[in-house]
Amino acid sequence: MVTATCQTPPSEHLDGVGYLFGYPIAHSLSPLFHRTIYDALGLNWTQFPLPSTDMSHFLRLMQDPRCFGASVTMPHKIAILEHLDEMTPEGRAVGACNTLFFRQSGSKRLLIGTNTDIIGVHEAFYKNMPDPDQVFHHRPGMVIGGGGAARSAVYALKKHMQCDAVYLVNRDKAEVDAVIAWCSEHGYGDGLLHVSTPAQAAALEGPGAIVACVPNFPPKTPEERQARAVMLAFLEKRHKGAMLEMCYHPTPWTEIAELAQARGWRVVLGTEAMIWQGLEQDKLWTGRELGELPVEKVKDVIAKQLSKVKL
């Protein structure tokens, strides 16, 4: 495999440096998001985009004493794990790391990994649903997709949103089996159910909260069309809950979001999850509490950026 490496950005003028490490990342709003926060707080800090697959180069950059941490995205969320000194319980539970920060232990500076995607998921629902008891509490949750994003969504639904059961809908049974096995091994697999046919969906209680973790493209293969039919069977249920559409590139308004809204569901855009997980990152990096961060300013900046995208 070809390793993609980028030049180390000049940072001599900065007091604090961070990175967004992934490939590709040209579409990411993360550097703009964090720069908005640091400017508002009067910090001479920057998060540099690092579009790279060169792990050794990234780890050398992290040794800079001015480095406050990093956002980690695909394809590095699992590969980074072996290079950490510690993981938070949430990071260990989902087996993927999207955030690096430092903690001092005596004379040693420890590199800690966590997963703030979990917080992004549940805060996206709670900050946008004034009536969670009516919408999703004590109802089944549902995750569309597989892999690490699905595990984060399951964890949020089970541990933070009072969803005792979670339906898994995906084109690939092997991916679903792997998600269920992982979650079970790490203590939050009870009540997970792979729903593979519309008939099976028709016989089940409707979900209250759905997290869609799949790219925005129409189904083409028989397996993709079957998964879409299962999703539609749930969307047609009498109870109309809320769907978080995690995909927001190249547009935050997706085909799945359109299908859900047309059937009476409330849709939360994936940028909401991005905002709340990013605020959690800056709490870790700056040591500030949420009330000290410029939440509304960040929302305005992201909304203006999104207004440039044709929905």
**101 near 112, Cβ under 8 Å?**
yes
Rounded Cα distance, 254 and 213, in Å = 12
Superfamily of domain 119-270 in CATH is: NAD(P)-binding Rossmann-like Domain (3.40.50.720)
For the domain made up of 16-115, the CATH class stated in words is: alpha beta
Rounded Cα distance, 267 and 186, in Å = 30
**46 near 17, Cβ under 8 Å?**
yes
DSSP labels, 187-218: T--TTEEE--SHHHHHTSPPPSEEEE-S-S--
Residue 259 amino acid letter: L
- The string of pLDDT tens digits covering residues 234-285 is 999 999 999 999 887 667 778 999 999 999 999 999 999 999 999 999 999 9
Domain ranges of the chain: 16-115, 119-270
Q: Is 272 left (phi over 0), alpha (psi -120 to 50) or beta?
A: alpha
What is the value of pTM for the model shown?
A: 0.91
Q: 272: part of which helix (H) or strand (E)?
A: helix 270-286
Burial class from Cβ neighbours inside 10 Å (0-12, 13-18, 19+) for residue 219 reads: middle
Rounded Cα distance, 264 and 245, in Å = 15
- The string of pLDDT tens digits covering residues 87-106 is 999 999 999 999 999 999 99
Asked if the domains at 16-115 and 119-270 fall in one CATH topology, the answer is yes
Task: Tell whether the model's pLDDT for residue 10 goes beyond 80.
Answer: no
The residues annotated with a catalytic role in the active site are: 77
- The string of pLDDT tens digits covering residues 52-80 is 999 999 999 999 999 999 999 989 999 99
Question: Which of 177, 247, 192, 242 shows the shortest CA–CA distance to 214?
Answer: 247
Question: Which of 55, 50, 48 shows the shortest CA–CA distance to 3?
Answer: 55
